[in-house]
Amino acid sequence: MRKNVVVGNWKMNTTVAEAVELASAIAERIGSGEAGCEIGIAPPFVSLTEVGKVVGQSGIMLAAQNCHFESDGAFTGEVSVRMLEAAGCSCVILGHSERRQYFGETNAIVNRKVRKALDGGLKVILCVGETLEQRQQGVTEDIVTTQVREGLDGVDDVSRVVIAYEPVWAIGTGKTATSQQAQEVHASIRETVREMFGEAAAAEMRIQYGGSVKPANAAELFAMPDIDGGLIGGASLKADDFIAIVEAAR
């Protein structure tokens, strides 16, 4: 039985003090993260160490929003896997549509990051998803399948990988894929994992939905057979909303 996983991606929001306050509010009310759901939060880089102190004994997973594909070197402004681990991270979000759209990350770049993070011992949340134009053109499955295949190329063991399906047109827009639309893409992703890594890996792979998940729609989305929790953006910046979504996943 797959355990749902709900991770809050705080993006470029909160100062260190604000991040600590938000993390404290979540940790105090959420408990150990047991009862069928794994819980994580991904604050900005500058807050990782302080937030890690808050959630360290709570069972909440500390995640980073990105990493570089090299171990060290002259890469101004970048952060390595080793640095993330030293800050207390056990997971990293990679291939988010905003990284692809605004920073030019290709499937090949995302793949290098995925392999580096896995080699370094981190869990990976691999983000995939289509734009509105691509959905309207009827190529959603082709786009998402290619992102999965190329993102996981050369990976032997996907036991530490979670895939997050995030339709780009639903991120931060207030629009949400219907539960059936999301389920169809999640089923296609699981079939791709089955073709690449076998039946057991596909059965165990957790596939999150992301894209304007809110307390009002979380339960319906998470009830779908191939949706295993959510990667939460805006709603994760409000402790009450995030906790309500976690409870829906539990």
* Residues that are catalytic: 96, 166
Is 88 labelled as part of a ligand binding site? Answer: no
Is 40 labelled as part of a ligand binding site? Answer: no
Q: Give the orientation angle of helix 16-30 with respect to helix 48-55, to 10 degrees.
A: 20
Are 128 and 114 spatial neighbours (Cβ–Cβ below 8 Å)? no
Helix, strand, coil percentages in the chain from 3-state DSSP, rounded to 5 = 50, 15, 35
Is 172 labelled as part of a ligand binding site? Answer: yes
Half-sphere exposure of residue 143, counting CA atoms within 13 Å on the CB side? 21
Are 19 and 50 spatial neighbours (Cβ–Cβ below 8 Å)? yes
Measure the CA–CA gap between 210 and 219, rounded to whole angstroms: 13
> Nearest to residue 153, comparing CAs of 92, 121, 197?
197
Write the burial class of residue 198 (CB in 10 Å: 0-12 exposed, 13-18 middle, 19+ buried).
exposed
Tokens linked to 52: 């890690």
According to DSSP, residue 59 is labeled T
Measure the CA–CA gap between 129 and 145, rounded to whole angstroms: 9
Is 233 labelled as part of a ligand binding site? Answer: yes
Q: 73-102 in b/e burial notation, b at 16+ Cβ within 10 A?
A: eeeeeebbbebbbebbbbbbbbbbbbbbee
Is 169 labelled as part of a ligand binding site? Answer: no
Is 10 labelled as part of a ligand binding site? Answer: yes
Is 4 labelled as part of a ligand binding site? Answer: no
Supply angle C-alpha 41, 63, 194, rounded to 5.
105
Q: Which residues are annotated as a binding site for substrate?
A: 9-11, 172, 212, 233-234
